[in-house]
Amino acid sequence: MKVQGSGTVMLIKRQVIEKIGGFENWFMCYFDPEYCVRAIQAGFENWYEPNAVCYHDQPKNDKLWRPRVLSRAYLLGKNRTLFMRKHGNIVIYSLFLPFLLGYYLIDSFRFNILSKWKELVCGSISGYFFPLTKNIYIPLPTIQKSYEHK
Q: What angle do CA 103, 107, 112 make, to 5 degrees?
A: 145
| Domain ranges (residues) in the chain | 1-56, 57-132
How do residues 101-142 score in pLDDT, each as one tens digit?
A: 999 999 899 889 899 999 999 999 999 998 876 655 555 556
pTM for the model = 0.74
Q: % helix / strand / coil in the chain, to the nearest 5?
A: 55, 5, 40
Tell which residue, 81, 89, 79, has the closest CA to residue 24. Answer: 79
Intra-chain end-to-end CA distance of the chain, in Å: 37
pLDDT over threshold 90, residue 3: no
In tens, the pLDDT along 15-48 reads 998 898 887 766 667 788 888 888 999 999 988 8
How many Å apart are CA 52 and CA 43, to the nearest integer?
A: 24
